[in-house]
Structure 1
Amino acid sequence: MPAATEREPLTDTDNPLGLEGIEYVEYTTSRPQALGQVLERFGFRPVARHRSREVLLYRQGAMNVVVNAHAGALPPPEAPALAALALRVRDAAAAHARCVALGAWDAPVQVAPMELHIPAVHGVGHSRLYFVDRWRDFSIYDVDFVPVPGVDPHPPALAGLHWFGIVQYIGTGRTADWVHFYTELLGCRLLAPDTRFGVLPRGRVLQSPDGSLHLQLVEPEPSDVDGGNERMQRVAFGAPDVGAAVQALRARGVEFVQTPQLPVSECGALAQGGLDGLLFELVRHAA
């Protein structure tokens, strides 16, 4: 994909929440060490630990991944589940209020004393969409997390990897519902039906107003056993050079799906996490 060209600044009408990309994605699992080993193979490093919960922050470049093993009202699942997407916005409280006013379901957040309250609404399945406005000079991690001693807090990105988006599995006939959800709440726009990124040839793609986030909605095939299980299925990393990224990841022990239907190509690749069906996608995309 060619580098983005300059364009006029977005207005509040174009970008009602003031979206500026992904702050973090969150996985829940009862096996945080195993997931951490997977993330480290992909170039992430543990940089901070939550002050009061069993939660670790992993980072590479501008990407943050939260691994949550904290046992709240329900114990975390054994298999890693993509549980939350946190979005950078102009004003978190205003973004939350707008989404709730438009029909989103508020997701109450229980915080301990001296912890930040990060507003959220319910997303697909059991997931949440968080709104974060502290991510420049002062971040949410400065309050709730303690740095891991001796670790570079800003490890460089491997092969230029950066956030590209989320692949979301939805129910049969539910595309229109989810398109409405993301266009109304986040101001996303639906791309042309033949728009394709990476290696997945199905579904419809939405793009956030600032162009930083892509959401691919995939309805089940008739043969899919869990076709009604709506969820955020995997994250997609952008890579300026997919071939170079694949080579760097293979050198670190990462394996890739290689079939006629899902080939490793200059457009993208599907990487195997090696843990309970965990997958990550690479997409050709300049940061």
Structure 2
Amino acid sequence: MLTSIATVSISGALTEKLHACAAAGFDGVEIFEPDVIASDHSPEEIRALAQRLGLSLDLYQPLRDIEGVDEQTFAENLRRAEATFRTASRLGIGTILVCSNVATATVDSDEVSADQLRRLGDLAATYDIRVAFEALAWGRFIDDYRRSWTIVERANHPKVGLCLDSFHVLSRGHDPAAIRDIPGDKIFYLQLADAPALTMDVLSWSRHHRLFPGEGSFDLAGFVDHVLATGFDGPLSLEVFNDTFRQTDPDRTAVHALRSLVWLQDKVAALQPELARGRLHAVAEAKPPNGFDFVELKAEDTSDIEILLEQLGFTPSGRHRTKPVTLWVAGDARVVLNEQQARDLRPHVSAIGFSVPDAAATSHRAADLMAPIAYRRTYADEQELSGVVAPDGTEMYWVTATGGQPPGWIAEFHNGMPAAASPVRGIDHVNLLQPWQTADEAVLFLTSVFGLSADAPAEVPGPTGLVRSQVMRTADGSIRLPLNVAPHVLDGSSVPQHIAFACRDVVALARAARARGLDFLPVPDNYYDYVAGRFGVDADTVAELREFNLLYDRSPEGEFVHFYTRTVGSVFFEFVERRGHYDGYGTDNAPIRLAAQRQRQTERVRSRVAGPSRRVPSGANLEP
């Protein structure tokens, strides 16, 4: 199906928006009236630019508070509408959006609204323009698409039809099934937006918190399925009011937006394959990853990470034969340390590798979804890894799972030591810090490209504010990627990334690591008093937890014991033992960890910059 997007959904001047939408691959756009008013291009110039870019101009919007008024007011509304029709004609746009009235001086009468829409249709016909009537979720009296359809039926005018907007239907909890009873040729336009599940007034929810399909909680695939069942053959158009998208790069946002429509079409096609054949964009099928292959840390100097890994019992498994890259292993966990093209970089998570059932299928799916390709130089005798760049800049690669056998790329590392026995089983999860402007995009990216699902977001209190966390995962938990959005703070501190490793016996690992000199992240004594009181843990167990700076959590399904290392650069390690069927992350312990990390950062700065008796400058960078 054709794709379109409202210019209100992305940032920039109107001409910038048109260029971005065309470059992304959209077929058309909805023109938002304020964009035209603020433009220094005439309607004719805008129309010509769209034609050169290959974009159709599908809708002009909005006309507000037109119907359901007294006759004197309606006469003025017709004058206002005619001015809008003239502008739309100059733009070459054949459909105008008319919103249901939200004003207080409104008549609650289907007959009045229908009669006025009929007369508006007569005026629109003189300009060969259609009127698409939309029930706003906060309309004064008309806030349900079923009532707006009743009024359109009463108007009985060939130039008057419906605009259906998923937000206005689903945010009010209206059942979209009755859409199937509407003739498809009377649905003049379709607008789509997702949204998170929030408890707030619907107007603020709509104006600030809409999302692209796949990022929220709405069943958009089911909604579109109902619409297509009517025979509707117009474009799938996005109208997303969101404070973030209106501040970010329009080229990137446009690609992000089109990816969401491609993903949505694929979901709808799965519901109705026969109906969708030839109408919807199909995406190559690929099963989700079934495990982590590796995690890569990059820095100009990785020696501090090597010390940590050695203290934790990892084995150095060799240096790459052509690159300044080393491999460390423990159990099935593989950590790659990369010093290539890393000048001035401090240690950070730069790449993640997945094991997938079919690498070629994942590559085809990523290409269909316009995922940016990750490029790495590979020589002829080296295994080529397919990869993409996630919205936060992390590179994500994949190889076909080999039935328990090590992947082929490991043979490229030489002069390693035999792997020692270790309580570490593998990588449990990788926690990635997200810039505020890419967090929603990352959810869609991981959902669409890799088939991960999103857990409900949580907010974790920290010493500098709330950290918003949302876990992306496979159903079986073989892949877990918590995405953290940290608050902005003025002192330069930040929430670091971390890699969590699953262990068979985390206490034994902690004991051995301490013997090798590991510097644990310290846990305050008050925490252990809290654990003893909350969970009723016996004194010997509490003493053991305290001795090794271990943290503890319990659920009805099992127990969780874990510890943290110090932070190096912008990354630290966590080692976890899941007992029974515990499936969480020790979320209640996160504030303890954040406070301890903050304290360590402050102490380092004081000793390095200010001295023990001086205050830390307010603008000091508190990273270690």
Give the TM-score range, shorter chain. 0.7 to 0.9
Shift of 1:138: 5.9
SS of the counterpart of 1:203? Answer: strand
Aligned to 1:266: 552
Give the structure 2 partner of residue 184 of structure 1. 448
With over 3 angstroms needed to count, the CA separation of the structure-2 counterparts of 1:46 and 1:124, relative to structure 1, is farther
Deviations 1:224-243 (A, max 9, x none): 6569x9x9822112234544
TM-score (norm. length: structure 2): 0.38
1:13-61 deviation digits (Å, cap 9, x = unpaired): 9x93341211111111222333222211121111122111111111110
Q: 1:39 aligns with which of 304, 309, 312?
A: 309
- 2:471 is aligned to 205
> Matches of 2:443 and 2:331 in 1, distance apart?
30
CA distance in 1, matches of 2:398, 2:521: 33
Is 1:145–2:410 an aligned residue pair?
no
Query: The residue matched to 2:440 in structure 1 has which SS?
Result: helix
Cα-to-partner distance string for 1:88-126 (whole Å, 9 max, x where unaligned): 011222212212211311112221231221111002433
SS of corresponding position for 2:442 = helix
Paired with 1:103 and 1:220, the residues of 2 have a C-alpha distance of 28
**1:25–1:65 contact (8 Å) kept in structure 2:** yes
- When the two chains are superposed, the root-mean-square deviation of aligned CA atoms in Å is 3.3
- The answer to whether the 8 Å contact 1:190/1:204 transfers is yes
Does 2:290 match 1:20? yes
Corresponding position: 1:106 with 2:373 = yes
Amino acid at match of 1:67: L
> Which of 116, 124, 133 is matched with 2:383 structurally?
116
Structure with the larger helix share: 2
Shift of 1:165: 0.8
Task: Please report how far the alpha carbon of residue 145 of structure 1 lies from its aligned counterpart in structure 2 after TM superposition.
Answer: 2.2
Partner of 2:512: 248
Percentage identity across paired residues of the two chains: 23
**Structure 2 counterpart SS, 1:272:** coil
Aligned match of 1:233: 497
Alpha-carbon distance in structure 1 between the residues aligned to 2:435 and 2:527:
22
Q: Which amino acid aligns with 1:271?
A: T
Q: Could you tell me the TM-score, scaled by structure 1's length?
A: 0.77
Please say if residues 164 and 212 of structure 1, whose CA atoms lie closer than 8 Å, have aligned partners that are also in contact: yes
Distance 1:225 1:175, change over 3 A: farther
Residue 86 of structure 1: aligned partner: 353
Cα distance in 2 for residues equivalent to 1:170 and 1:261: 28
Q: Distance in 2 between matches of 1:174 and 1:239?
A: 32
* Residue equivalent to 1:155: 420
Give, in whole Å, the separation in 2 of the partners of 1:69 and 1:261: 38
- 2:318 aligned with 1:48: yes
Looking at structure 1, the residues matched to 498 and 516 of structure 2 have their Cα atoms a distance apart, in angstroms, of 20
Which residue matches 1:223?
489
- Bigger Rg, which one: 2
Bigger relative contact order (CA 8 A; separation at least 6):
1
Where structure 2 has 5 or more consecutive residues not aligned to the other structure, the ranges are: 1-269, 271-284, 461-465, 529-548, 554-561, 582-624
8 Å Cα contact 1:189-1:206 kept in structure 2: yes
Q: Which amino acid aligns with 1:213?
A: I
Pair 42,218 (structure 1): closer, same or farther in 2 beyond 3 Å: same
- Of 121-130 and 166-175, more deviation after overlay is shown by 166-175
Ranges in structure 1 where 5+ consecutive residues have no aligned partner: 1-12
Question: Are the counterparts in 2 of residues 242 and 265 from structure 1 also a CA contact under 8 Å?
Answer: no
Higher strand share: 1
Count residues with an aligned counterpart. 261
Confirm or deny: 8 A CA contact 1:82 1:232 kept in the other structure: no
Counterpart in 2 of 1:167? 431
Task: State whether residues 457 and 468 of structure 2, in contact with CA within 8 Å, keep that contact through their aligned partners in structure 1.
Answer: no
Q: Does the alignment pair 1:57 with 2:322?
A: no
